[in-house]
């Protein structure tokens, strides 16, 4: 007989009580490891935006204070950028944890790019495939939202 985890068992019991099918088992992650996630916001007034997000409980962890600031609140990270780009961007940083510390093992931006291109995705800006150092790539989702894969560290040693 298979052993169910407590969560799986509760899911089955709950589903039986409401007459629904139990939730499917979580799929194993088969995608590339994109790295640390943040939202990069294009702001009109950095000072006003920073003050607003500080009232929400965010605190500054990095930035130059004049054109960009990075803020965190618990597990959430946002970047505020004045005059550096036009639209908001979903940003992933392969090789970094949420404190910008280099991870010992991660998927390099060039490997991520190749995997996504093999899946039929097109890039607006491709990472140079030859070097091993920092690189970035940009693509957009079907609604035009930009996604930046921005690696600041060298390719991991394997």
pLDDT on residue 131 = 84
Question: Residue 55: exposed, middle, or buried by beta-carbon count in 10 A (0-12, 13-18, 19+)?
Answer: exposed
pLDDT on residue 144 = 94
pLDDT on residue 19 = 52
Question: pTM of the prediction?
Answer: 0.78
**Confidence class for position 12, pLDDT limits 50, 70, 90:** very low
Residue 68 has pLDDT above 60, yes or no: yes
Mean pLDDT in residue range 42-67: 97
Sheet holding 76-82, edge to edge: 59-63, 68-73, 76-82, 36-43, 89-93, 146-151, 135-140, 123-125
Enumerate the domain spans of the chain. Answer: 31-151
In this structure, the strands spanning 76-82 and 36-43 are parallel
pLDDT on residue 10 = 44
The superfamily (CATH) of domain 31-151 is 2,3-Dihydroxybiphenyl 1,2-Dioxygenase, domain 1 (3.10.180.10)
Compare 80 and 30 and report the one with higher pLDDT.
80
Query: Strand, coil or helix: what is 11?
Result: helix
Residue 3 has pLDDT above 90, yes or no: no
């Amino acid at each position: 007989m298979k052993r169910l985890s407590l969560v799986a068992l509760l899911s089955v019991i709950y589903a039986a009580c409401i007459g629904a099918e139990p939730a499917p088992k979580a799929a194993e992650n088969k995608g590339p490891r994109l790295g640390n996630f943040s939202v990069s916001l294009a702001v009109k007034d950095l000072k006003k935006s920073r003050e607003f997000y500080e009232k929400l409980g965010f605190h500054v962890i990095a930035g130059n204070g004049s054109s960009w600031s990075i803020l965190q609140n618990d597990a959430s990270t946002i970047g505020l950028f004045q005059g550096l780009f036009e639209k908001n961007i979903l940003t992933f940083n392969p090789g970094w944890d949420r404190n910008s510390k280099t991870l010992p093992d991660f998927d390099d931006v060039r490997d991520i790019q190749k995997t996504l291109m093999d899946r039929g995705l097109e890039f607006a800006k491709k990472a140079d495939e030859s070097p091993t150092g920092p690189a970035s790539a940009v693509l957009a989702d079907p609604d035009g939202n930009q996604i930046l894969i921005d690696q600041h560290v060298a390719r991991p040693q394997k």
